[in-house]
Structure 1
Amino acid sequence: MLKLIQNEWIKYFNRPGTYIMLIMIMLLFVLLTVLNMSFGSGINHTKEYSKDHWKTEVQTDIKKMSQDLERLHAQDDKDFKQQDYSKMYSLEQEIPRLQYYLKHDVRPPAINNVFDNLLGTTNMINFVIIMVTVITSSLMSREHQQGTIKLLLIRPASRLKIFFAKWLTAVLISVAFTLFTFIISGLVGIVTGKINPTTKHAVLDTAKGKYHMEDFWPYFTQLLLNDLIYVIIFATIAYVLSVLFKNTAVSLGLTIGLLFFSGLITNFIADKTDLVKFIWPANWSMNQYIGFMGAPPIDSMSYSFSFVYNIIALALLLGIGLWVFTKRDVAD
Structure 2
Amino acid sequence: MRNFNLLVLNEWLKISKKRSHVIPYVILLVLSLVVGYISHTFGTDMYASAAEFTSDMLRPTGIGQVLTILVIIGTAGIVSREYSQGTIKFLLIRARSRTAILASKYVTVLLYTLSMLLVAVAALFLSGVVFYGLSGGEAGISTILTSLLYSMVYCAVYATIGFMLGILTKTTGVTIGATIFATMIDKVVIPREFYKYVLFPNLDLSAYQNGGAPMQGMTLSFSIVLLCGYTALFLLAGFAVFRRRDVA
Amino acid at match of 1:139: I
Distance 1:40 1:238 in 2: 36
> Do the aligned partners of residues 14 and 217 (structure 1) sit closer, same or farther apart at CA in structure 2, a change above 3 Å counting?
same
The 1-side partners of 2:147 and 2:107 are apart by: 22
- Contact 2:48–2:136 (8 Å) recurs in 1: no
Residue 321 (structure 1) shift: 0.4
- Secondary structure of the 1:250 match is helix
State the secondary structure of the residue aligned to 1:18: coil
* CA-CA distance at 1:150 after TM superposition: 0.2
TM-aligned CA deviation for residue 250 of structure 1:
0.6
Aligned twin of 2:205? 286
Report the RMSD for the aligned CA atoms in angstroms: 1.8
Higher relative contact order (CA 8 A, sep 6+): 2
Change (3 A) 1:291 1:18: farther
> Structure 1 length normalisation: TM-score?
0.69
What is the match of residue 239 of structure 2? Answer: 322
Contact 1:129/1:231 (<8 A) preserved: yes
In structure 1, the residue matched to 2:29 is 26
- Seen in structure 2, the aligned counterparts of structure 1 residues 321 and 31 have a Cα distance that, compared at 3 Å, is same
Measure the CA separation in 2 of the matches of 1:188 and 1:14.
28
1:115, CA displacement in angstroms?
1.9
Q: Which residue of 1 aligns with 2:15?
A: 12
Tell me the secondary structure at the aligned position of residue 296 of structure 1.
coil
| Contact kept in structure 2, 1:118 and 1:186, CA below 8 Å | yes
Number of residues of Structure 1 aligned to a counterpart in Structure 2: 242
Residue 170 of structure 1 and its aligned partner are, at CA, apart by 0.6
Superimposed CA distance per residue, residues 74-130 of structure 1 (whole angstroms, 9 cap, x where no aligned partner): xxxxxxxxxxxxxxxx6xx7xxxxxxxxxxxxxxxxx45212211222210111111
Contact 2:53 2:124 (C-alpha < 8 Å) held by counterparts: yes
1:40 and 1:261 map into 2 onto residues whose CA distance is 28
Contact 1:282/1:296 (8 A) holds in 2: no
Cα gap change, 1:219 to 1:189, in 2 (>3 Å): closer
Check whether the contact 2:28–2:120 (CA below 8 A) recurs between aligned residues.
yes
- Structure 2 partner of 1:313: 230
Contact 1:121–1:181 under 8 Å retained in 2: no
The answer to whether the 8 A contact 1:5-1:169 is kept is yes
Q: Mind listing any 5+ residue stretches in structure 1 that lack a counterpart?
A: 46-89, 94-110, 202-215
In 1, distance between residues paired with 2:214 and 2:131? Answer: 36
1:223 pairs, out of 138, 147, 153, with: 147
Is residue 2:59 matched to residue 1:135? Answer: no
| Aligned residue in 1 for 2:215 | 298
After superposition, where does 1:1-332 map in structure 2 within 5 Å? 1-37=4-40, 39-40=41-42, 45=44, 111-122=47-58, 123-197=62-136, 200-201=138-139, 216-264=140-188, 267=189, 269=190, 271=191, 273-291=192-210, 295-331=212-248
| Pair 16,188 (structure 1): closer, same or farther in 2 beyond 3 Å | same
Using structure 2 for the length normalisation, give the TM-score: 0.91
1:40 to partner: Cα distance: 4.7
User: Are the equivalent residues in 2 in contact too, given 1:276–1:297 (CA < 8 A)?
Assistant: no
Q: Percent identity?
A: 27
Q: Which residue type is aligned with residue 184 of structure 2?
A: F
Check conservation: 2:207, 2:214, Cα contact below 8 A.
Answer: no
Deviation at 1:33, TM superposition (A): 3.0
Q: Partners of 2:42 and 2:232 in 1: how far apart?
A: 48
Superposed structure 1 runs of 4+ greater than 6 Å apart:
none
The CA deviation at 1:194 is: 1.8
Contact 1:121-1:182 at 8 Å conserved across structures: no
Q: In 2, Cα distance between the equivalents of 1:252 and 1:291?
A: 34
Distance in 1 (CA, whole Å) between partners of 2:158 and 2:215 is 23
Q: Alignment partner of 1:139: what SS? A: helix
Q: Deviations over 1:278-313 (max 9, x none)?
A: 111111111111139xx4332211111111111111
